[in-house]
Copies of this chain bind each other. A is one copy, B any other.
Amino acid sequence: MTGPGADPAAEPAPGPAAGAGAPVLAVDIGGTKLAAALVEPGGRIAAYDRAATPGGPDLDAEGLWRALEVLLGKLVAGAGDPALAGVGVGCGGPMTWPAAEVSPLNIPVWRDGFPLRARLRARYPGLPVRIHNDAICVAVGEHWLGAGRGRDNVLGMVVSTGVGGGLILGGRLVNGASGNAGHIGHVVVDPGGPPCACGGRGCLEAVARGPGLVAWAREQGWRRESADATGVELAADARGGHPVAVAALRRAGRALGVAIASATHLCDLEVAAIGGGVSQTGELLFEPLEEAFREHARMEFARRVRIVPAGLGQTAGLVGAAALVFAQDRYWSAG
């Protein structure tokens, strides 16, 4: 299946040339950090490095590309320049897909579009280069080796500064018409709810993203005097029993429960795996989540879904990016 964004260039198959044990160079490109790893065929991370995403008034698109090249070059050289099975990348969206001209919302110098796949192909000639949305890579990682392993119908979610996700159905990653399937953050949980950065209203992300929780709690009087109170402080106060902080997590948890109920009615899931910073508040989030889910998911097939914390932590996105190459039968249907 190829869409309008398909890259017509032939994609080399991973593998034999590089030897059966060759690693994938996995990359995770976000607004705050660039991370890279050499991931072995079984998913083990053999080498890892990271750097703060460069910024500042003097940086341009090529400057960010050079910083990425340096990080990757150092990592591969440090590991003794092994032959690679391919390059797998998770990058903040939006992007055209599978051509991966990326225009990440939270990376200003690339926001007008950067031809990431084409540049990586030129840098790593002869290797498959596969790029997907960073939240989709997290979901793929969780399905391949994490909380969704062994299940055919899995929603992987990241609840953090934003709310993203990826959808595996019938054992295979769902891309949708343009590679954008999995946007659980924009499932509507309250049509009259708060405005969302997407331009809509009442999206899950508008309610449950970390900054949304903090904004709501401040409106309710939480640390109104402290202009820079963060989600970390909100979570700490909630653990200490502060009623507004508890209520903020409860509100986010219930919104997540409603969205997951809708998703499972539509997709008949087995597992919803939730990662990201906000999810690390544990029961303060998961209890109201389960409560709302149970209220809205009443049919037998929907009640069977297990809602669990993600299993792989910070490296899920890198592991998932590697799986785009290692397990292409399940996770890569494009050219």
Q: Produce 1/0 per residue, A169-184, CB < 8 A to B.
A: 1111011111111111
Q: Is A218 an interface residue (CB 8 A)?
A: no
Docked Cα-Cα span, A177 to B303, in Å, equals 12
- The interface residues of chain A, by DSSP majority, are classed as loop
- Quote the shortest CB–CB distance from A1 to chain B (angstroms): 6
- Please judge, given known A-B contacts A258-B188, A258-B191, whether A181 and B295 are in contact too, CB under 8 Å: no
- Please judge, given known A-B contacts A180-B268, A266-B263, whether A190 and B191 are in contact too, CB under 8 Å: yes
Q: In the assembled complex, which residues on chain B have CB atoms less than 8 Å from the CB atom of A333?
A: 170
Within 8 A of B (CB), among A182-222: 182-191, 198-203
In contact, A191 and B292 (Cβ under 8 angstroms): yes
Q: Is A159 an interface residue (CB 8 A)?
A: no
| Interface-central residue, A172, A177, A187, A201, by most chain B CB under 10 Å | A177
Q: Is A284 an interface residue (CB 8 A)?
A: no
In contact, B183 and A265 (Cβ under 8 angstroms): yes
In contact, B177 and A301 (Cβ under 8 angstroms): yes
Q: Is A298 an interface residue (CB 8 A)?
A: yes
Q: In the assembled complex, which residues on chain B have CB atoms less than 8 Å from the CB atom of A261?
A: 186, 188, 200
Copies in the complex: 2
- Please judge, given known A-B contacts A1-B171, A169-B174, whether A183 and B298 are in contact too, CB under 8 Å: no
A254 nearest in chain B by CB position:
B191
Q: Is A129 an interface residue (CB 8 A)?
A: no
Q: Is A270 an interface residue (CB 8 A)?
A: yes
Q: Among the listed B181, B258, B266, B292, which residue makes an inter-chain contact with A184, where contact means beta carbons less than 8 Å apart?
A: B266
Q: Produce 1/0 per residue, A99-135, CB < 8 A to B.
A: 0000000000000000000000000000000000000
Q: Is A296 an interface residue (CB 8 A)?
A: yes
Docked Cα-Cα span, A172 to B302, in Å, equals 22
Q: In the assembled complex, which residues on chain B have CB atoms less than 8 Å from the CB atom of A199?
A: 298-299
In contact, B171 and A268 (Cβ under 8 angstroms): no
Q: In the assembled complex, which residues on chain B have CB atoms less than 8 Å from the CB atom of A94?
A: 299-301
Q: Is A269 an interface residue (CB 8 A)?
A: yes
In contact, B186 and A265 (Cβ under 8 angstroms): yes
Q: In the assembled complex, which residues on chain B have CB atoms less than 8 Å from the CB atom of A181?
A: 169, 266-268
Q: Is A39 an interface residue (CB 8 A)?
A: no
In contact, A180 and B301 (Cβ under 8 angstroms): yes
Q: In the assembled complex, which residues on chain B have CB atoms less than 8 Å from the CB atom of A323?
A: none
Q: Among the listed B169, B189, B300, which residue makes an inter-chain contact with A188, where contact means beta carbons less than 8 Å apart?
A: B189
Q: Is A262 an interface residue (CB 8 A)?
A: yes
Q: Is A325 an interface residue (CB 8 A)?
A: no
Docked Cα-Cα span, A270 to B3, in Å, equals 11
Given A176-B267, A191-B296, A201-B296, 4 extra CB contacts under 8 A: A94-B300, A176-B269, A176-B301, A187-B266
Pick the 3 closest A-B CB pairs, nearest first.
A176-B268, A199-B298, A186-B265
15 chain-A/chain-B pairs, Cβ below 8 angstroms: A94-B299, A152-B177, A153-B176, A177-B301, A178-B268, A183-B299, A186-B261, A186-B299, A191-B258, A191-B296, A199-B298, A200-B295, A200-B296, A266-B266, A267-B267
